[in-house]
Structure formats: structure tokens, C-alpha cells
Amino acid sequence: MAAKKYRTVMLIDDNEIDNLINQKMIEASSITENIYTHTGAKSAIEFLKNMEKLEMADQVLPDLIFLDIDMPLMDGFQFLDEFEKLSNVAKRKCKIVMLTSSINPQDFNRSKKYEAVKLYLNKPLSHDSILKLDL
């Protein structure tokens, strides 16, 4: 069996159906061993804060984070602001893909200002877009 491209992937989207579909697409593409799913950016950032405190943080932190923009309580950009406050271990390990239904060019341009954001994709996630990931 071929090695997985990523040890762990995280999905952050307030829409549970989108999370489920994206999770199934990622599972079908066989790019990862583990998938963490969060329906809120606030819970996801707390999770990452807890993970980075562990001695084996580099083994449990996600390699790739798919992040939605439009969410209640804490949106994707607020998540990114909090993400930038995390440890260097977390910032080096986690690469972020904005996965959104937003077609607003301002969102795209704003996402470029964050070093952790490596890619901007429009929903839905496709088998092809997953296989083309090279982050």
C-alpha cells in the first residue's frame, strides 16, 4: 500500500453536510490516515492550541487544514488571525487551504495576506482537486 500524502487533515466548516461530503471525498482519494472535523472555527482553534502543547505535537497536528470563510461566531479570517498566534511548531506543520463558496475577489486577496494559506479553492471539493494538492 502506498504511503499517504498527509498524516492528518482537518476540515473546518459550519455546514455539517459539506463536512461529510468533503470527508468522503478525502477518504475516497486516500491521501490521509486521519481526518479531524470541526463545525466551528472556535472549537478548531482551541483543539489546535491543546495539540500544540503536547510533546508529540508534530505528530498530532494536522498537515492540512481545509477552512471555510463564512461561519458564525468566528469566521475563517478570524481563525487565521488566531492561528498566527500559535507556536512555530503549529505554523510550520499546518498548511491551510481556504475551501469556500465565496467568489468575492476581496476574500481571495485577503487570504493571500496569511502566510499559512497555501491555496484558495471553491466548494465543492472534487476528487481531482484533492489529488492535485501538492502542499
Per-residue pLDDT reduced to its tens digit, 13-57:
999 999 999 999 999 999 999 999 999 999 999 999 999 999 999
DSSP category for residue 47: H
Whether 75 contacts 18, CB under 8 Å = no
In whole angstroms, how large is the CA radius of gyration of the chain? 14
Q: How large is the average pLDDT for residues 115-123?
A: 95
* Residue range 55-111, pLDDT digits in tens: 999 899 999 999 999 999 999 999 999 999 999 999 999 999 999 999 899 999 999
Q: Which residue has the cell 484558495?
A: 120
To which H or E segment does residue 30 belong? none
What span, in angstroms and rounded, lies between the C-alpha atoms of 11 and 65? Answer: 6
CA–CA distance, 25 with 75 (Å, rounded to integer):
23
pTM, 2 dp: 0.95
Q: Which homologous superfamily is 6-131 in?
A: Response regulator (3.40.50.2300)
Supply the pLDDT for residue 2.
58
Is the Cα torsion angle 8, 32, 12, 108 positive or negative in sign?
Answer: positive
Instruction: Please state the rounded mean pLDDT for residues 111-130.
Output: 94
- Give domain limits for the chain: 6-131
